[in-house]
Amino acid sequence: MSMIAFMAYKVNFFLIIIGPALVFFFIKYNLWSAIYSLKEGIQIQGYDFSEMINYQVWVLIVSLLSQGFFSSQLAEDIRLGRISSYLIYPFQFWQFHLASFLGFQTIQMAVAGFTILILFGSDLVQVPTWEILTSGLVMSFVVGLIWFSFQFLIGLSAFWLEETWVLRVILITVTQFLSGSILPLEFFPLWAKDLLSMTPFPYMTHVPVKIFMGAYEGSLPILVGILLLWLGIISLVCGLMWRSGLKRYSAAGM
Amino acid sequence: MVIECHGLTKEFRTYKKQPGFLGTLKSFFVREQILNRAVDHFDLLLEPGALVGLLGPNGAGKTTLMKMLTGIIVPSSGKMKVLGFTPSERKLQFRRKIALVMGQKNQLWWDIPAMDSFLLLQKYYEIADGDFKKRVGFLSEMLDVEKVLHIHVRKLSLGERMKLELMASLLHEPEVIFLDEPTIGLDLVAQKNIRDFLRVYQEERQTTILLTSHYMADVEALCSRIVLILGGKKRFDDSITKFSQILGREKFVTFTFERGVDQTSEIWKSHDPKWKFEGRQVELRIPEERLRELSATILNQYPVVDFHTEKMPIERVMSTLISNPHLL
Amino acid sequence: MRTVRKYLGVYEHFVMTCFAEAMTYRAHFVLLISMNFLFTLTSIGAVGFIFDHVDHVGPWDRSTFLFFVSFMLVVDHFHMSFFAESFWQFSDDLKRGMVDFILLRPIGGPFIIFFRHIRPGAILSSILSVIFLIHYGMEIGLSPVKWLILPFLVGLSLTLLVSLEILISMSMFWIVESFGINFLRMQFQQLSRWPNFVYQFWIQKIFIFFFPVLLVGSAPVRFLVDFGDWELLSYFVIALPMTWLFIHLFWKLGLRYYESASS
């Protein structure tokens, strides 16, 4: 059902979800072309021009696969008091939203798959092996779950805040910068890189991109383990917020 | 004439969508257009100082008509003049002289007190400070909202909000007021308050008012003339008395008895009896000329504890016409 | 004159009510400021990190490029402070049919729509980007004359940016899912945040002559940096009134199309 809802907003779907990712890629492609065009064949922090573009293409794919789910509906449900009707339904609130996330994810897979096929036809990207492709996809899916849990967390903040979009923009701005989707983390100063390695941010773009490029050296199971740990932590926070938010909600009779 | 329109027509385009996923997919690529005529060759004349009720079921075209008359939407065809202006040209002079109140939408700003919104309206309509104060004082006293002027609108009850909405629309002393269901969703007391206010206001100022409402009590209390719109077309336009007699000059009388009475008696037969409570109550349809004689007979022969004629004949007429438009 | 006074009076009231509103939602106020700070810092940071490894991009060195970035940040922040909210509100108002009330008022509709909402929090956070602008302006050694025309150019850029966005928003009359148009609007804003020379030839041509978003920042900054580079600025002078003309046309057309969501 949620897939139908998404398709019904066909223009919005393109404008909100796919458009921004494409424009982001487009700008970076132009920017890096301009940077690399000054000297023929230079390498910056280990990236030559084609590797940089390769990196940015995979950033695009990873963001299509994992990001973009826009759970503003959750916040709206809470703000407008529509949450009461969910409380009567025979399933959990988060189950409903997870289901709509999964429905959305299916469409995103198709969009990403389509993009990958087009890109393989061009010479912008090196075609990875099946093994690499699969592990990249698995990784992206888990990252998608993390994004979803973050979005859910922000949605829940609607119990306390009148508007949640600011938090969402903050999340996206910070993550885009710190996860390496604007520029690879190799470009960051050393101290910043060390600091970042203790946060979930690198895993949200940089690491999956490296996997797709076949340049990741660590082991995938450990990675997924780390991500699931983060996922657990965020879910725990969500659970706590949901409970205290609900108490507040029923107490205020909003 | 304050309002004058001839052959006014508005068509909307909508799309059909089949249910289910395949339907969604289909509507992604092809859309079947439907042309929906919301208002169909409508004629209307309103004299200065008239208070006219515009009646019709949901989706009959009442709101569309009002939006055309206020210049919010542009008609597909036809002619109209309001106060000598063509509404769709949206001249500033025209907009200063009209007001539209919609019971289902609020113009007041949700997160600030009504008074702040009023001050903004003062700026919009360029109302002089002295006049503004006088009008706010006068209206808020009449509507009994002096105490809530400075409270955030979101914290007020629907009734209070509606009063303030009305007030907001009257601050610039419009010459024509369009009231689209001003009492919708209000409780009985609040409805009556609004109604009483409108009557007094209109009597004092002789403002021209076009009113729509689903509550016949509003219409009966305020309007002397009724315009009925069904499926975008005008079907009736005359006095309220004539309206109540559309379906025949008969009275509906209800008798209540102390105990159940004999339902088979001849006296009921020709009057279409509707029995309730095991013969303790009956509703009869009686031709006007036989009302006195027949009532007297029943009062004499049966243990009547209560009897009354129908309270609002137009309500019955209205509901009959909505479900059977062909009767007209 | 009377009209100007009327509009100023109304605008004064807009500002007052928005401040009153902002004060009731304190958490939102604080978050908005943090959001703008983070946005400023990441924008400067990203370009700064790039210049840790290269010394020129196009014709510009680190200081010049960062001067451009902070120029655009100032424009963006003023945009966020005085206009952004109104664009979002407009799509919402259209959906809920609230534009009805705007059309009833005896004052210009576009004025109420696009000047209505001010974000006091964003005004406060513009300060950071202004500091960056002054800092990098000093680094590239702007002459006193250039310092004098700088605020004027910022105003001009803001005017073009907002005009272009109003033009985009006019399409909301035709597209039911008007919410998404705001994302389209933001994408154009994204494009304008980079100097025109990073784009390839045809892209530059399109976004200078056809839909001139690249003029927003590049025209004034190139004029300042390479004094006497009048070319882009002269396009700018033509683009602005053209945009206004189109806004006027589309507003008239849009109203004829407006169907007013029924209640």
Tell me the nearest-neighbour CA distance from B35 into chain C, angstroms: 13
Q: Is the pTM of this model over 0.90?
A: no
Looking at residue B262, its pLDDT comes to 84
Whether residues B283 and B238 share a domain: the answer is: no
Tell me the nearest-neighbour CA distance from C232 into chain B, angstroms: 39
- Distance CA(C125)–CA(C30), nearest Å, equals 10
> What ipTM does this complex have?
0.85
Q: Who's near C195: CB < 8 A, 6+ residues apart?
A: C58, C60, C65, C68, C217, C218, C221, C222
Q: Cα angle vertex C100, ends C96, C104, to 5°?
A: 160
Q: How many CA atoms lie within 13 A of B262 on its CB side?
A: 7
Whose CA is closest to A115, among A65, A181, A66? Answer: A65
Whether residue B74 and residue C255 make contact (CB cut-off 8 A), yes or no, is yes
Least confident of A45-54, A216-225, B23-32: B23-32
Q: Are the CB atoms for B78 and B62 separated by under 8 Å?
A: no
Q: Cα angle vertex C55, ends C51, C56, to 5°?
A: 100
Name all chains with 3 or more CB-CB pairs below 8 Å to chain B: A, C
B266 or C115: which carries more pLDDT confidence?
C115
Last residue of a domain, one of B244, B260, B295: B244
Helix (H) or strand (E) holding C132, with range, is helix C120-139
- Distance CA(C59)–CA(A132), nearest Å, equals 40
- Give the rounded percent of residues in chain A with a pLDDT score beyond 90: 12
Whether residue B21 and residue A4 make contact (CB cut-off 8 A), yes or no, is yes
Whether residues B237 and B261 share a domain: the answer is: no
Whether residue B124 and residue C103 make contact (CB cut-off 8 A), yes or no, is no
Looking at residue B266, its pLDDT comes to 83
Domain of B103, CATH number, reads 3.40.50.300
Whether residue C255 and residue B90 make contact (CB cut-off 8 A), yes or no, is yes
Q: Are the CB atoms for C113 and C78 separated by under 8 Å?
A: no
C180, amino acid identity:
G
Whether residue C200 and residue A44 make contact (CB cut-off 8 A), yes or no, is no
Whether residue C104 and residue B95 make contact (CB cut-off 8 A), yes or no, is yes
- Spell out which chain B residues touch chain C, with contact meaning CB-CB distance below 8 angstroms: 12, 63-64, 67, 70-74, 90, 92-93, 95-96, 98-100, 102, 104-105, 107, 109, 111-112, 116, 119-120, 123-126, 152, 180
**Do the strands B208-212 and B77-82 form a parallel or antiparallel pair, or are they unpaired?**
unpaired
A95 or B42: which carries more pLDDT confidence?
B42
Looking at residue A254, its pLDDT comes to 43
A71, amino acid identity:
S
Task: For residue A29, give the chain C residue with the closest CA.
Answer: C199
Whether residues B200 and B306 share a domain: the answer is: no
Task: For residue C188, give the chain A residue with the closest CA.
Answer: A23
Whether residue C203 and residue A23 make contact (CB cut-off 8 A), yes or no, is no
Residues in C touching B35 (Cβ below 8 Å): none
Coil, strand, or helix at residue B284? strand
Whether residues B229 and B132 share a domain: the answer is: yes
In the 8-state DSSP scheme, what is residue A41?
A: T
The total of structural domains in chain C comes to 1
A7 contact B CB<8A: yes
Whether residues B109 and B72 share a domain: the answer is: yes
B237, amino acid identity:
D
Task: Render pLDDT for B130-159 as a digit per residue (tens, 0 to 9).
Answer: 999 999 999 999 999 999 999 988 888 889
Domain with B117, as residue range(s), is 3-244
Task: Render pLDDT for A184-205 as a digit per residue (tens, 0 to 9).
Answer: 999 999 999 899 988 889 999 9
- Distance CA(C205)–CA(B200), nearest Å, equals 66
Whether residues B261 and B234 share a domain: the answer is: no
Looking at residue A2, its pLDDT comes to 52
Asked if pLDDT for residue A9 goes beyond 60, the answer is: no
Whether residue C13 and residue B123 make contact (CB cut-off 8 A), yes or no, is yes
**Cα A22 to the chain's mean position, in Å?**
14
Task: Render pLDDT for A101-138 as a digit per residue (tens, 0 to 9).
Answer: 888 888 888 888 888 888 777 777 777 788 888 888 88
Whether residue C177 and residue A161 make contact (CB cut-off 8 A), yes or no, is no
Whether residues B204 and B84 share a domain: the answer is: yes
Domain of B289, CATH number, reads 3.30.70
B114, amino acid identity:
A
Coil, strand, or helix at residue B232? coil
**Helix, strand, coil content of chain B in percent (nearest 5):** 40, 30, 30
Whether residue A166 and residue C46 make contact (CB cut-off 8 A), yes or no, is no
| Ranges in chain B, pLDDT < 70 | 15-32
Name all chains with 3 or more CB-CB pairs below 8 Å to chain C: A, B
Tell me the nearest-neighbour CA distance from C214 into chain A, angstroms: 12
Task: For residue A6, give the chain C residue with the closest CA.
Answer: C177
- Distance CA(C46)–CA(A188), nearest Å, equals 9
- Given pLDDT bands bounded at 50, 70 and 90, which one contains residue A69? low
Cβ-count burial of B27 within 10 angstroms (0-12 exposed, 13-18 middle, 19+ buried)?
middle
Last residue of a domain, one of B244, B264, B294: B244
Residues in A touching C35 (Cβ below 8 Å): 166, 169-170, 173
Whose CA is closest to C156, among C80, C74, C225, C246? Answer: C74
Asked if pLDDT for residue A11 goes beyond 90, the answer is: no
Decide if C263 is inside a domain: no
Residues in C touching B63 (Cβ below 8 Å): 262-263
Tell me the nearest-neighbour CA distance from A252 into chain B, angstroms: 13
The total of structural domains in chain B comes to 2
Domain with C108, as residue range(s), is 2-257
